[in-house]
Amino acid sequence: VSPHNTKNYKYELINNKCELIKVSSAFFLRFLVRKLADGTELRGMIVETEAYLGGEDAASHSSGRKQTARNVAMFMKPGTMYVYQIYGIYFCMNVSSQGEGAAVLLRSLEPLQGLDTMRQLRSVRKKGNQKSCKDQGLCNGPSKLCQALDIDKSFDRRDLATDCEAWMEPGPSVITEEAIVSTARIGIGYAGEWAKKPLRFYIHGNRCVSVVDKLAQQNTRNFQGRHSILIC
């Protein structure tokens, strides 16, 4: 949501688990915008997300509904940015939803505006490898996304609806269910049965997706039915 949008555009937020699954894919084709201190605007289209349900979701930082200093943004009002650090170096950006610590991880963007600046920001953070990033590799992963948009811990607990340095805007079109692939989330092998839940979503055929699941792509027409059985 852009604070500068005179139409007061609102993106859908959620109030239950089944709706979280829907909103995770509802972010698709929307623009994430980052305005730098010098006025430069960086813009990318969201093409991959992961849903974290909170509560019994063993992969969620709010599993067991435990609120801590680190994850408090997950319990704040819908649209709050939850930015956390991994490996003591990289950052990941989530958007909170209404509920017991539920949130959506923004996993990949298709970069559209400010690519040269994104490339410079990525290069500064790459150690021992100065090879220039290809366009599709600028934001194809949650930490790469944050590097390319210069998003760090200072954005944690800030409101996407009112922030003047980061916001969302409506995209050019609406995506159909058939174009969305649902598969297991990445890097959560510790989460037991929750590691297999199809809570990662991406746009079929988009070159900026971080990891393609060919088997899941064969079943995209049935993803809505799988959700109703496994999750809702």
Over residues 60-96, the pLDDT tens digits come to 999 988 899 999 999 999 999 999 999 989 999 999 9
**List of domains in the chain:** 17-225 (3.10.300.10)
**pLDDT above 90 for 196:** yes
Main-chain dihedrals φ then ψ at residue 20, nearest 5 degrees: -60, -40
Strand, helix or coil at 22?
Answer: helix
**Residue-averaged pLDDT of the chain:** 85
Judged by average pLDDT, the poorest of 11-20, 29-38, 131-140 is 11-20
Per-residue pLDDT at 27: 86
**pLDDT above 60 for 129:** no
- Mean pLDDT, residues 174-180 taken together: 81
The answer for residues whose C-beta is within 8 angstroms of residue 125's C-beta and 6 or more apart is 147
Q: Compute CA 177 distance to the chain's CA centroid, rounded to the nearest angstrom.
A: 18
Enter the DSSP assignment of 20.
Answer: H
Enter the DSSP assignment of 73.
Answer: G
**pLDDT above 70 for 13:** no
For the entire predicted model, the pTM comes to 0.85
CA–CA distance from 13 to each of 166, 189, 193, 205 (Å)?
17, 28, 26, 26
CA–CA distance from 84 to each of 91, 112, 155, 204, 227 (Å)?
6, 25, 9, 28, 28
Amino acid letter for position 103: A
Judged by average pLDDT, the poorest of 14-28, 41-55, 148-162 is 14-28
Query: Would you say 81 and 13 are in contact if contact means Cβ atoms under 8 Å apart?
Result: no
